[in-house]
Amino acid sequence: MFSPICRHQSGMMKYILVTGGVISGIGKGIIASSVGTILKSCGLHVTAIKIDPYINIDAGTFSPYEHGEVFVLDDGGEVDLDLGNYERFLDIRLTKDNNLTTGKIYQSVINKERRGDYLGKTVQVVPHITDAIQEWVVKQAKVPVEDDGVEPEVCVIELGGTVGDIESMPFIEAFRQFQFKVKRENFCNIHVSLIPQPSATGEQKTKPTQNTVRELRGLGLSPDLIMCRCATALENSVKEKISMFCHVEPEQVICVHDVSSIYKVPLLLEQQGVCGFLTRRLDMPMETRPRRMLTKWKEMSDRSDRLLEHCSIALVGKYTKFSDSYASVIKALEHSALAISHKLEVKNIDSANLELSTLQEEPVKYHEAWQKLCSADGILVPGGFGVRGTEGKIHAINWARKQKKPFLGVCLGMQLAVCEFARNTLGWADANSTEFDPDTKHPVVIDMPEHNPGQMGGTMRLGKRRTIFMTNNSVLRKLYGDVEYVDERHRHRFEVNPELKSHFEEKGLRFVGQDVEGERMEVIELDDHPYFVGVQYHPEFTSRPIKPSPPYLGLLLAAAGKLPGYLVKGCQLSPRGIQ
């Protein structure tokens, strides 16, 4: 194997810090993931850490409109969605400590102070907070993140926000010290900046980048690579100007222009010699064998450009105004669409617009929403919290069931599918979840907390849990490869009421997947329907570009009319996708 040789020759962990300037949301997460991907394709074991300077302990209590979706890890960690990018790009499994926040650091330091660990010293930002940051990074970088259990050799660290923010100052100072502690050949800094192109002149402007690099240098960090985010490819003259004013060689200025697919970004970096630069800069011996992993990425991105057939999925949710709210859901749909060689069109529908109250107040929005829903090839109702928009989701589920439209309900989507069936097939008009109607006479979804003592979120069922398939003739079981059980990630507090199970199964709504104890209903399937599936877990969190999530793949196959053929062939994906 290559890795032990590399570890022996270099001896030290290599750290790559990715910082950002000018604006937040510039694409640091994708760039950090892409850097990791090209290094992994060279045979190195790579891990990743995301630093969020906000004071929250984790992302668990955020509204999706704040920072996008909350990504859930195997260990139940509720983290920033960038960790989802790391897992998808690098095909690794991270833990909650791979997401470091100001809140976590201050909490650990204050706990130490209360225990008397500082021996009566005055506890200060420097050195105590900065030391705690460095210790956390060093410790977490060594934690294996792949199935082979090998200790990583490279750690990519993404610092959220922008350089110059008050809240990120302790982290910048920590890494200023850190670069000397671990030595220059084991630490490098990639700075991501924006090159605006005002429409009035069409000229690419370098001044914001010059300013952000000057500010970064003033804080004690010198960028080794400046990655320029721009709408179109960087002109040579602009590259030379940045090189001159930012004190780097032209080869250290990398253009990351807008591309049709994020899976092209690793290829874009590789073409500009990023891998070669990092190997020289960090003294990392590389394998000379062909980089098979990058070849797969190239095939994938080329295929995504050549897709001719279209498939549309209606995404019926309550946070549809902000695409990052359903980042993993959309990625899982994209992975599945690519696998079946179809171009995906996601029709975002605010579920509240499907309700009769909207017909009274804003009839145009109501009819537009229903037109989108009715014209879609498949319907997806994702997870969510709170009562707003739930009746609209139930209307969408009713339409999918009666019109035999392919349907996938995830988490709350599954619970509402059970409510809809209870109301319209079993005749329980007031059937509801006790989350929305505590006094309902037919509580088909009830509060079944897992007791994890703590603050808000302490009673949620979080992280990887096992689901056992109860029958052999389940469509989803076949899609998973005819396995007896699956391990998937959960994030919920409410469950389908197990006492009412028999009423549903008599009418054809089968609970084909349950937890190990048989108390929690995990998977529903409806008889005599092309694809009507609900899952209590979140399969999108484990979907990968080259290995799509089976529930989402089933939805896309059914929407494209290819599910029966796929099942007959034994659920095998051809190397070039399903033709």
Catalytic residue among 228, 529, 538, 571: 538
Helix (H, G, I), strand (E, B) or coil at 436: coil
Residue from 64, 48, 65, 220 nearest 130 by CA: 220
CA distance 327 to 197: 27
Query: Is 411 a known active-site residue?
Result: yes
CA distance 16 to 187: 6
Under 8 Å CB-to-CB from 379, ≥6 apart: which residues?
313, 314, 316, 373, 396, 397, 399, 400, 405, 406, 407, 408
CA distances from 248 to 23, 143, 156, 243 (A): 22, 34, 21, 5
Catalytic residue among 411, 492, 529, 571: 411
CA distance 439 to 511: 25
Catalytic residue among 69, 78, 153, 540: 540
Q: Where are the alpha helices (DSSP H) in 251-355?
A: 265-271, 274-281, 292-306, 327-339
Residue from 97, 208, 182 nearest 143 by CA: 97
Could you tell me the strand order of the sheet in which 494-496 lies?
Answer: 432-433, 443-447, 494-496
Query: Is 538 a known active-site residue?
Result: yes
Query: Is 246 a known active-site residue?
Result: no
Residue with tokens 């739930």: 390
Helix (H, G, I), strand (E, B) or coil at 177: helix
- Largest Cα–Cα distance of the chain, in whole Å? 75
Task: Give me the torsion for CA of 363, 368, 369, 371, rounded to 10°.
Answer: 120
CB-CB contact of 361 with 412 (8 Å): no
Q: Which residues are catalytic?
A: 411, 538, 540
